[in-house]
Structure 1
Amino acid sequence: METSLVFFSQLNMCEPKEKAFFKLIHGLGKEETSKEAKIRAKEKRNRLSLLVQKLEFHEEPPSSSRSGNLAKETRVSPEEAVIWGESFDKLLSHKDGLETFTRFLKTEFSEENIEFWIACEDFKKSEDPQQIILKAKAIYEKFIQNDAPQEVNLDFHTKEVITKSITHPTLHSFDAAQSRVYQLMEQDSYTRFLKSDIYLDLIEGRPQRPTNLRRRSRSFTCAEFQDVKSDVAIWL
């Protein structure tokens, strides 16, 4: 009959077997306790990190940033702000109105809608064939393709038409998508904007109050306006 031997590297063969075995088990227990402590500490750090991220996600922008926004808002008179409430067209055709509406969309995390609309306005003013191709590709990759960094909410058919034509784009390649985004903003975001503190404070001449950020589903669409300032840097 063969005898199996088990060797423990931690055992000192000069010590009594009972004492050596006790040291081995005691050492393993300490090592296990140390591992558990590290795991618990890591879990605590992860929970703390998540808590900090949530607090940062909901906290107000730095005071310096808020004061910068307020400086812009003070240029708008209540009379000008009232005009924005007459129609969505008049809001977007006014430089300060466009900026104010963009700030409002940022509080709802849906600024990709207005940025897409602005990009389309700039794109339609392109004249050089090479620029048309480059800008069309940039718009497609940023706003249209699946999992784009600022993907806008378009129906499957509209996206499919754009995808098929993007290799040979024209100045009208994004017209349908822009129109849909415009309509959705007009019917959804614009209605809430007129009831928001951002807008009501302007028409009543009050200082801007802090605005809580809240997540909303994406929506958007567009039409043509000639008075919007072209600025490729906004979306490239």
Structure 2
Amino acid sequence: METSLVFFPQLNMCESKEKTFFKLIHGSGKEEASKEAKIRAKEKRNRLSLLVQKPEFHEETHSNRPGHLAKETRVSPEEAARWGESFDKLLSHRDGLEAFTRFLKTEFSEENIEFWKACEDFKKSKEPRQIILKAKAIYEKFIQNDAPQEVNLDFHTKEIITKSITQPTLHTFDAAQSRVYQLMEQDSYTRFLKSDIYLDLIEGRPQRPTNLRRRSRSFTCSEFQDVKSDVAIWL
């Protein structure tokens, strides 16, 4: 009996495994590259988003625009001259308050006027919940130790506020506001009257650009969403 030999083609298992491994490696590499590209694109979008949302970015950019300068120079020299008669007249005028705030920023002491404005707004509160929320916000921002914009108060005044902050009244910050008011009147106001910001106004000169430091916003609008502010300029 003749025996028939049947030859099967040799299967190259190594080659198959190598091809599979090669595909896996290159496929993984493409996926990694794609992930990295997505991450970089996301980071770029986040950076742009933060830049747009930063209030200090808008503050510095707008300060160099002609429209901003026009707003600063709308005050007549006669009106500006009246601000030199008393500190009260300066603060009672919207543009005077704005000019004084700009001056304090150049001296890195704007926390004083921000606190004063916060107290003025606080005293207009009517609802109990509104009083509690605003009082806590003022305390955390301006009064407590290491507060973001801590004002210079004596120990006794701070202690009284700390003890009453759990049950605040519309007079909780009266003593502190009076102390800060006197400090500004006797110190900062005198220098303001000699500053370029004020002298340019009373002489009718265009306002010069000022180098303002960036303010850190310790609270966001969402943190005050339950507070119905009458004048929200201090937030």
TM-score normalised by the chain length of structure 1: 0.65
Per-residue CA deviation, residues 73-126 of structure 1 (Å, 9 max, x unaligned), is: 221000000000000000000011001111111111111110100010011111
Per-residue displacement from partner, 1:130-150 (whole Å, max 9, x unpaired)? Answer: 100000000000000011111
SS of the residue aligned with 1:223?
A: helix
d(CA) in 1 for partners of 2:3, 2:84: 94
With over 3 angstroms needed to count, the CA separation of the structure-2 counterparts of 1:5 and 1:111, relative to structure 1, is: farther
User: Which has more radius of gyration?
Assistant: 2
CA 36–217 in structure 1, closer or farther in 2 if over 3 Å, else same: closer
1:65 Cα deviation after fit: 3.0
- Check 1:84–1:13 CA distance in 2 against 1; reply closer, same or farther (3 A cut): farther
1: CA distance, partners of 2:98 / 2:87: 13
Q: Alpha carbon RMSD of aligned pairs, Å?
A: 9.7
Cα displacement (A) at 1:67: 3.5
In the alignment, the residues of structure 2 paired with residue 187 and residue 4 of structure 1 have an alpha-carbon distance, to the nearest angstrom, of 119
Compute the displacement of 1:72 (Å).
Answer: 1.6
CA distance in 1, matches of 2:197, 2:51: 29
**8 A contact 2:141–2:150 mirrored in 1:** yes
1:14-71 deviation line (CA, Å, top 9, x unaligned): 99999999999999999999999999999999999999999999999xx853644422
Is the 2:56–2:215 contact (alpha carbons within 8 Å) kept by the matching residues of 1?
no
Deviates more, 1:28-37 or 1:222-231: 28-37
What is the alpha-carbon distance in structure 2 between the residues aligned to residue 56 and residue 147 of structure 1? 22
Kindly indicate whether the alpha-carbon contact (under 8 Å) linking 2:141 and 2:218 is maintained by their aligned counterparts in 1. Answer: no
CA distance in 2, matches of 1:11, 1:140: 81
Cα distance change on mapping 1:13 and 1:143 into 2, 3 Å: farther
Greater than 2 Å deviation, 4+ residue runs: 1-60, 63-69, 209-236
Change (3 A) 1:126 1:220: closer
CA contact (8 A) 1:123 1:171 kept: yes
Q: Does the 8 A contact of 1:120 with 1:174 survive in 2?
A: yes
Change (3 A) 1:213 1:124: closer
Contact 1:107/1:211 (CA < 8 Å) preserved in 2?
Answer: yes
Q: Normalized against structure 2, the TM-score is what? A: 0.66
What is the number of equivalent residue pairs in this alignment? Answer: 234
The structure-2 alpha-carbon separation of the partners of 1:193 and 1:8, relative to structure 1 and needing over 3 Å to count, comes to farther
Of stretches 168-177 and 106-115 in structure 1, the one that deviates more from structure 2 is 106-115
In structure 2, runs of 5+ residues without a counterpart are: none
Q: Deviations over 1:170-198 (max 9, x none)?
A: 00000000000000000011000000000
Aligned counterparts of 1:133 and 1:215: Cα–Cα separation in 2: 29
Specify whether residues 221 and 2 from structure 1 end up closer, same or farther in structure 2 by C-alpha distance, changes over 3 A only.
farther
Answer whether contact 1:108 1:213 (CA < 8 A) is retained.
no
Q: Counterpart in 2 of 1:53?
A: 53
Secondary structure at 1:34's aligned position in 2? Answer: helix
- Kindly provide the CA deviation profile for residues 149-175 of structure 1, in whole angstroms up to 9, marking residues without a partner as x: 111011111000000000000000000
Indicate the SS of the match to 2:21: helix
